[in-house]
């Protein structure tokens, strides 16, 4: 049991503060919900596309896997691009533009009549998705109250499996009535229902403004939105007694992607990228091929789609529950344990358990795969300082998408080779185990946020204050 070293206080300084933060949370969560919808809707309609060549043309298993990866190539490019400009242009502009881009892409894809057009439009749509995922983590890290960063990240990124649940449920109910084209048009709704709300409810990040030297704008925004300036504006660095080379170097610390490659962050950046690689390989591989793999077990088509509901439902519950533990004990050990849970569940599925137990194991696999990726985003967004935060999330979302690209391709190759379903699950289990080992190797962040949970430091102390804190000996304080 962790000993409290600071009194509990109300994290909300005014109703306007609470209203603003929850408005930001709602915008990002809704945007990422449709990212999850896009992720799963392709897997949900894939059996129909493969069975009916009149839709977009004859589609084999290997080609279907490659086609599923096209959107992920776009996501990777979009995430890395957003990271390159997000720490310079700001959070609000990138998020609003990405919502509009993604929605138009989904609508355009619904009118595709051949495989080539479908693939190109999926890639272009992915650009917007990548920008949303990369920018969302930075926004939440800069608006979430002290002691709740992992929880708020989990709420937001649980939108990915929640969107998967929505896509699976709508596919089960509406696929025979509106077809795959109608399901894709549903994915275009953000431009009508999310973008207008985001225009009103999503302000620029005051912390980002102050990090760019626009302190007056940041202060004005805080007053207008009821945000406490002490928590949302980084204090200026204390004047140095001399102008040594070290002090000049500190003042000119690199930001953006350059900041990720400084000696303090270099190893962590590399390992966090591979953590995300493993998590997204599992997420996209299972969401694309789980219905098809389950049909090879003799389960009918509708029940196979139901397993997507179970997988993503388990991810939502698991991600939210694990995020509370991550806020108390640090995310590293929680993420590693979550990967191990996925390993054990996927291996157990290969033993052909009874149907009821199969459902529980798939839910546990969802907790340990998609749910783990939810935690990874929270881990990453709090690992870096303000000047490199968007780039850090973008790096993991972008590089991780290489795993997402491989996931559908690996699944397609395994299915096309005629291997037993058990082989697919064992391959994914091996990836989960590798993810656990990589997670345990991630070093402590040099930033204050990553060193000690906010509940240990005490509310009201700015998480981005300069300098290195004194170590606090308390359970979970080292991002285990």
Mean pLDDT of 138-142: 84
Q: Which whole-number Å values give the CA distances from 186 to 112, 191, 297, 454, in the listed order?
A: 15, 11, 31, 40
- Rounded distance, CA 308 to CA 366, Å? 9
Query: What single-letter DSSP state applies at residue 442?
Result: P
Per-residue confidence at 401, pLDDT binned at 50, 70, 90? confident
What percentage of the chain reaches a pLDDT higher than 70?
A: 82
Q: At a CB cut-off of 8 Å and minimum separation 6, what does 116 contact?
A: none
Under CATH, which number does the domain 15-211+257-457 receive?
1.20.1250.20
* Pairwise pLDDT comparison (330 vs 102), residue with the higher score: 102
pLDDT of 390 reads 74
Query: What single-letter DSSP state applies at residue 465?
Result: -
Rounded to 5°, the CA angle 241-237-452 comes to: 115
Element (H, E) at 355: helix 355-368
Whether 76 contacts 144, CB under 8 Å: no
- Rounded distance, CA 172 to CA 383, Å? 40
* Pairwise pLDDT comparison (64 vs 112), residue with the higher score: 112
The total number of residues written for the chain in this structure: 480
Whole-model pTM: value is 0.69
Q: Which whole-number Å values give the CA distances from 116 to 56, 180, 300, 397, in the listed order?
A: 9, 17, 30, 26
Please give the torsion angle defined by the CA atoms of residues 472, 11, 152 and 325, in that order, rounded to the nearest 10 degrees: 40
Whether 131 contacts 81, CB under 8 Å: yes
Q: At a CB cut-off of 8 Å and minimum separation 6, what does 394 contact?
A: 79, 80, 81, 82, 83, 84, 86, 134, 135
Whether 162 contacts 149, CB under 8 Å: no
Residue 26: other Cβ atoms inside 10 A: 17
Report the chain's mean pLDDT, rounded to a whole number. 78
Whether 389 contacts 141, CB under 8 Å: yes
- Rounded distance, CA 383 to CA 479, Å? 9
362, pLDDT greater than 80: yes
pLDDT of 421 reads 67
Per-residue confidence at 301, pLDDT binned at 50, 70, 90? low
Residue closest to 130 by CA, chosen among 375, 372, 390: 390
Q: Which whole-number Å values give the CA distances from 370 to 57, 140, 455, in the listed order?
A: 31, 19, 27
Q: What's the pLDDT tens digit per position in 196-218? A: 999 999 999 898 888 888 889 98
- Rounded distance, CA 160 to CA 39, Å? 8
349, pLDDT greater than 50: yes
Mean pLDDT of 80-107: 87
248, pLDDT greater than 70: no
Radius of gyration of the chain (CA): 22
Whether 74 contacts 126, CB under 8 Å: yes
- Rounded distance, CA 14 to CA 24, Å? 16
pLDDT of 3 reads 36
- Rounded distance, CA 336 to CA 326, Å? 11
Whether 425 contacts 71, CB under 8 Å: no
Q: At a CB cut-off of 8 Å and minimum separation 6, what does 331 contact?
A: 150, 375, 378, 379, 382, 479
Q: What's the pLDDT tens digit per position in 178-199? A: 888 999 999 999 999 999 999 9
Per-residue confidence at 343, pLDDT binned at 50, 70, 90? very high
| In the chain, where the domains are located | 15-211+257-457
Query: What single-letter DSSP state applies at residue 234?
Result: P
Q: Where are the alpha helices (DSSP H) in 144-236?
A: 149-157, 159-186, 190-193, 195-201, 206-211, 215-225, 229-232
């Amino acid at each position: 049991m962790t000993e409290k070293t600071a009194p509990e206080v109300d994290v909300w300084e005014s109703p306007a503060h609470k209203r603003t933060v929850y408005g930001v949370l709602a915008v990002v969560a809704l945007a990422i919900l449709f990212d999850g919808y896009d992720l799963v809707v392709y897997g949900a309609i894939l059996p129909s596309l493969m069975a009916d060549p009149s839709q977009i043309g004859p589609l084999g298993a290997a080609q279907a896997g490659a086609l599923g990866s096209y959107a992920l190539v776009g996501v990777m490019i979009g995430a890395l691009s957003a990271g390159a400009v997000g720490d310079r242009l700001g959070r609000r502009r990138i998020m609003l533009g990405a919502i509009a881009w993604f929605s138009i892409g989904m609508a355009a894809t619904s009118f595709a009549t051949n495989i080539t057009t479908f693939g190109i439009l999926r890639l272009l749509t992915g650009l917007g998705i990548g920008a949303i995922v990369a920018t969302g983590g930075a926004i939440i890290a800069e608006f979430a109250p002290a002691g709740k960063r992992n929880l708020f990240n989990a709420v937001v990124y649980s939108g990915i499996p929640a969107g998967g649940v929505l896509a699976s449920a709508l596919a089960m109910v509406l696929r025979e009535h509106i077809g795959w084209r109608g399901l894709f048009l549903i994915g275009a709704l953000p431009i009508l229902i999310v973008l207008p709300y985001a225009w009103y409810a999503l302000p620029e990040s005051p912390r980002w403004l102050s990090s760019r030297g626009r302190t007056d704008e940041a202060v004005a925004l805080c007053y207008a939105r009821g945000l406490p300036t002490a928590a949302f504006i980084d204090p200026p660095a204390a004047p140095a007694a001399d102008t040594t080379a070290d002090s000049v170097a500190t003042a000119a610390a690199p930001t953006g992607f350059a900041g990720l490659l400084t000696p303090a962050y270099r190893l962590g950046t590399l390992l966090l990228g591979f953590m995300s690689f493993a998590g997204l390989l599992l997420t996209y591989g299972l969401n694309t091929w789980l219905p098809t793999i389950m049909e090879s077990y003799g389960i009918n088509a509708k029940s196979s789609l139901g397993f997507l509901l179970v997988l993503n439902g388990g991810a939502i519950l698991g991600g939210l529950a694990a995020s509370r533990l991550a806020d108390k004990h640090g995310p590293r050990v929680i993420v590693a344990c979550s990967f191990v849970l996925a390993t054990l569940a996927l291996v157990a599925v290969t033993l052909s358990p009874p149907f009821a137990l199969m459902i529980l194991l798939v839910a546990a696999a969802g907790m340990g795969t998609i749910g783990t990726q939810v935690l990874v985003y929270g881990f990453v967004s709090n690992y870096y300082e303000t000047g490199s935060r968007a780039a850090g999330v973008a790096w993991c979302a972008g590089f991780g998408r290489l795993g997402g690209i491989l996931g559908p391709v690996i699944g397609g190759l395994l299915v096309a080779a005629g291997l037993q379903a058990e082989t697919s699950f064992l391959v994914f289990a091996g990836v989960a185990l590798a993810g656990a080992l990589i997670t345990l190797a991630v070093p402590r962040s040099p930033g204050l946020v990553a060193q000690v949970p906010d509940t240990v430091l005490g509310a009201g102390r700015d998480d981005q204050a300069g300098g290195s804190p004194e170590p606090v000996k308390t359970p979970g304080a080292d991002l285990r």
